Chain A
Amino acid sequence: MTRKNVRVVIAKPGLDGHDRGARVVARALRDAGMEVIYTGLHQTPEQVAETALQEDAEVVGLSILSGAHMTLVPKIRELLKKNEMENVLLLVGGIIPEDDAAELIQSKMADAVFTPGDPLEKIISYIFEKGGKGD
């Protein structure tokens, strides 16, 4: 499914300020035709879930490089569910050790994890394949 205008929220939850990846990804998704909202830095899980709701996001991309992913990702998934947004595609990027990535995906806390070295194209095609609730 290649649908343009997919609504994506790119978020920086937690305290770390490393936003190179988040901004590069946000730009690449926009250039691929998606509607991208970037939350900016230092967001609480509540703020991320609130933005997702307000923006009617179909995809939420979390960028975390502080090591707090095992706490933050499940928390955000839970809050999204509370907002009746269980169908949101939740993607995680950053410094995520492989074991943690496997655990996040297996427990369905995250739909996909992208790490350094993954090409932008991989993220874009993943979203176009899975993203959106229909044409």
Chain B
Amino acid sequence: MKREDKFNELERKLKRWKTAAGNLPQKGSSGRTISGETLQPLYTPLDIKELDYERDLGFPGEYPYTRGVQGNMYRGRYWTMRQFSGFGDAYDSNRRYRYLLEEGQTGLSVAFDMPTIMGYDSDHQRSLGEVGRCGVAIDSLEDMEVLFENIPVDRVTTSMTINGPAAILWCMYLANAEKQGVRLDRVGGTIQNDILKEYIAQKSWIFPPEPSMRLITDIFAFAAQHVPAWNTISISGYHIREAGSTAVQELAFTLADGFAYVEAGIEAGLDVDDFAPRLSFFFNSHLDFFEEICKYRAARRIWARHMKERYGAKDPRSLKMRFHTQTAGCSLTAQEPENNIVRTTIEALAAVLGGTQSLHTNSMDEVLALPTEKAVKIALRTQQVIAHESGAANTVDPLAGSYFIESLTDKMEADAEEYFRRIEELGGVLKAIDMGFFQQEIADSAYIFQREVDRGERVVVGVNRYNSGEKPQIELLKIDPGVEKKQVDRLKKLKEKRDNSAVKAGLQELTKRAAGSDNLIPHILNAVKVYATEGEIIQALKEVFGEYREKPQF
């Protein structure tokens, strides 16, 4: 029988099956993904008729990288188990990091407190009540030195979730590495440094878009020359998803941001292959298991295709989308928090089957507070069980070829392409941000989702169904209320003992250079090395750059 005839025959039989199945009871699953995408009850070879193995999937480590960016994936090396962590002052967090490393964690990931994220020193009026609360307080190089005391930065890579002031915290990290006697070309890690998603979703910005993009391309250029093993940006869908987007919106908006950074780098005069290999990504892993796996596969393929065809990248490393994954904080429930361990396990498994390079698993109590040591250990153990007991790491991209998986991967790629067209029509990412396009799309999705939960159309176990009404009986981490004062006192002492004329000169030089067009990283590094504080450096830049304001909408 010819191929076409076989398909016709199959189509006929499928119709018969649909009629029969249509007459069966329909009391179970709604057939909709968590993103509201309606799925077929059954997928067959008809759904992947057009699939061309070499063109659309290929081999792992080869274009278009649908099946993974490394040739042998987890046979070669497991993903990095990297728990996002930080609280109190540098001493508290240093203790937690050493605990995690002792428990088998393989990389560090720093969570900063809100003042650090927003560019305020701990003694600033706006920092009142926020110091060390939802991350670690870092004001100067001195704090960074404490944070990494007895942690060898040439052997452990560190990811830092910092955006507006990324250049400053990165310079502190580099200065500390040099003090530890580590050459900059031996230092590895990641700064998030993704300002576009801040305007879109996470809303922790400092400067307006234009100077922010300049700092980012300055980092690209400086790293290409001096810190070649550093991931200069982690283009993030995580926060877009947490803000309420669908899976396709997360995919499309994140990649659109990625393309905007590539264009900014090219416009700044860089060769695409000089900086693109160090671009990395960061995705959410939500509860809809298969949709998430397809999202990662589609993301790799879209990135490779655009980088090659649109931006003319030639270095294979420029085409490979490497990404970190964090399980979905927004999927956790305050009610019966132990259930969150199960949710996180499902999400972590999706990330692994989707080929992530590193993973953070949320702790069950993170919807209530920062995690306790016990909760974070269970979260880390979840990854270790998946890696070493479940068998999920044995085979590369094990779900490939599934009618459903390939069909949904294609669909998500096509839907993302449709978003790229719309963004292009609006005049690009920055224009679309300015018009509130992304923000509104996300707010709409979040609202629709919440309404469905409230109406009981979506079941959240332990919340709107199967709720025992018991109060959670778990211990929560308390942040020492004395941290703020301790940190402010340390900062005061630092300002007394450092060479204040060198600080002043460094800051004045920085303001001067900011008004011109030089790469600012060497000047920030100089200021950091004489112990200028983060807040002072930000202020020196604000004088030229100004501040960003968003028009409130809902």
Interface residues of A (CB under 8 A from B): 10, 14-20, 22-24, 26-28, 30, 36, 38-42, 44, 65-68, 70-72, 95, 97-98, 115-117, 119-121
Q: Given known contacts A115-B334, A117-B335, what 19 new A-B pairs fall within 8 Å (CB)? A: A23-B446, A23-B553, A23-B554, A24-B446, A24-B447, A26-B554, A28-B450, A38-B552, A40-B550, A41-B552, A42-B118, A65-B134, A66-B133, A67-B370, A70-B129, A71-B128, A97-B476, A98-B368, A98-B472
Q: Contact check, B114 vs A116: say whether CB atoms are below 8 A apart.
A: no
Q: Contact check, B204 vs A17: say whether CB atoms are below 8 A apart.
A: yes
B244 at the interface (CB under 8 A from A): yes
A85 → B minimal CB distance (Å): 21
Describe B's contact surface by its main secondary structure.
loop
B325 → A minimal CB distance (Å): 20
B413 → A minimal CB distance (Å): 27
Q: In the complex where A67-B479, A117-B335 touch, is A41 in contact with B550 (Cβ < 8 A)?
A: yes
Q: Contact check, A67 vs B454: say whether CB atoms are below 8 A apart.
A: no
Q: Contact check, A17 vs B454: say whether CB atoms are below 8 A apart.
A: no
Which chain A positions have C-beta within 8 A of B205? 17
18 A-B pairs whose Cβ atoms sit less than 8 Å apart in the complex: A15-B118, A16-B114, A16-B134, A17-B204, A18-B202, A22-B554, A24-B244, A24-B447, A40-B551, A71-B129, A95-B368, A97-B368, A98-B471, A115-B334, A116-B332, A117-B460, A119-B453, A121-B454
The one of B204, B333, B552, B554 that contacts A117, using a Cβ cutoff of 8 Å? B333
Q: Contact check, B450 vs A24: say whether CB atoms are below 8 A apart.
A: yes
**CA A70 – CA B128 in complex, angstroms?**
11
Describe A's contact surface by its main secondary structure.
loop
The one of B130, B203, B330, B450 that contacts A67, using a Cβ cutoff of 8 Å? B130
Chain B residues bordering chain A, tally (CB within 8 A): 48
Which chain B positions have C-beta within 8 A of A10? 554
B464 at the interface (CB under 8 A from A): yes
**CA A44 – CA B127 in complex, angstroms?**
10
Q: Mark B434-452, 1 if CB is under 8 A from A, else 0.
A: 0000000001001100110
Residue on A with the closest CB to B118? A15
Q: Contact check, B203 vs A17: say whether CB atoms are below 8 A apart.
A: yes
**CA A10 – CA B463 in complex, angstroms?**
25
B117 at the interface (CB under 8 A from A): yes
Q: Contact check, A66 vs B367: say whether CB atoms are below 8 A apart.
A: no
Q: Mark B164-186, 1 if CB is under 8 A from A, else 0.
A: 00000000000000000000000
Q: Mark B21-64, 1 if CB is under 8 A from A, else 0.
A: 00000000000000000000000000000000000000000000
**CA A38 – CA B446 in complex, angstroms?**
17
Which chain B positions have C-beta within 8 A of A98? 368, 471-472
B544 at the interface (CB under 8 A from A): no
Q: Contact check, B114 vs A15: say whether CB atoms are below 8 A apart.
A: yes
**CA A66 – CA B553 in complex, angstroms?**
21
Q: Contact check, B334 vs A116: say whether CB atoms are below 8 A apart.
A: yes
Interface residues of B (CB under 8 A from A): 114-115, 117-118, 120, 126-130, 133-134, 198, 202-205, 242-244, 330, 332-335, 367-370, 443, 446-447, 450-451, 453-454, 460, 463-464, 471-472, 476, 479, 550-554
Q: Contact check, B369 vs A95: say whether CB atoms are below 8 A apart.
A: yes
Q: Contact check, B552 vs A17: say whether CB atoms are below 8 A apart.
A: no
Which chain A positions have C-beta within 8 A of B369? 67, 95, 97
**CA A40 – CA B460 in complex, angstroms?**
29
B546 → A minimal CB distance (Å): 15
Q: Contact check, A66 vs B447: say whether CB atoms are below 8 A apart.
A: no
The one of A23, A39, A44, A68 that contacts B443, using a Cβ cutoff of 8 Å? A23
Q: In the complex where A18-B203, A119-B454 touch, is A66 in contact with B333 (Cβ < 8 A)?
A: no
| Residue picked from A38, A98, A117, most chain B C-beta under 10 Å | A117
Which chain A positions have C-beta within 8 A of B367? 95, 116
A104 → B minimal CB distance (Å): 13
Q: Contact check, B130 vs A14: say whether CB atoms are below 8 A apart.
A: yes
A83 → B minimal CB distance (Å): 20
Q: Contact check, B114 vs A14: say whether CB atoms are below 8 A apart.
A: yes
B407 → A minimal CB distance (Å): 31
Residue on A with the closest CB to B552? A40
A60 → B minimal CB distance (Å): 15
Q: Contact check, B129 vs A14: say whether CB atoms are below 8 A apart.
A: yes
| Residue picked from A19, A44, A121, most chain B C-beta under 10 Å | A19
Q: Contact check, B554 vs A27: say whether CB atoms are below 8 A apart.
A: yes
Which chain A positions have C-beta within 8 A of B203? 17-19, 41
Residue on A with the closest CB to B467? A117
Q: In the complex where A68-B129, A95-B368 touch, is A15 in contact with B120 (Cβ < 8 A)?
A: yes
| Residue picked from B129, B460, B464, most chain A C-beta under 10 Å | B129
4 closest A-B pairs by CB: A71-B129, A17-B203, A40-B552, A67-B133
Which chain B positions have C-beta within 8 A of A119? 453-454, 464
**CA A115 – CA B127 in complex, angstroms?**
24
B61 → A minimal CB distance (Å): 38
Which chain B positions have C-beta within 8 A of A23? 443, 446-447, 553-554
The one of B126, B454, B554 that contacts A15, using a Cβ cutoff of 8 Å? B126
Q: Contact check, A66 vs B471: say whether CB atoms are below 8 A apart.
A: no
Which chain A positions have C-beta within 8 A of B553? 23, 38
**CA A42 – CA B126 in complex, angstroms?**
9
**CA A42 – CA B242 in complex, angstroms?**
19
A13 → B minimal CB distance (Å): 10
Which chain B positions have C-beta within 8 A of A44? 126
Which chain B positions have C-beta within 8 A of A28? 447, 450-451
**CA A36 – CA B554 in complex, angstroms?**
10
Q: Contact check, B463 vs A20: say whether CB atoms are below 8 A apart.
A: no
Which chain A positions have C-beta within 8 A of B244? 20, 24
Residue on B with the closest CB to A11? B552
Q: Contact check, A66 vs B126: say whether CB atoms are below 8 A apart.
A: no
**CA A83 – CA B479 in complex, angstroms?**
32
Which chain A positions have C-beta within 8 A of B118? 15, 42
**CA A120 – CA B446 in complex, angstroms?**
13
**CA A116 – CA B332 in complex, angstroms?**
9
Which chain A positions have C-beta within 8 A of B133? 66-68
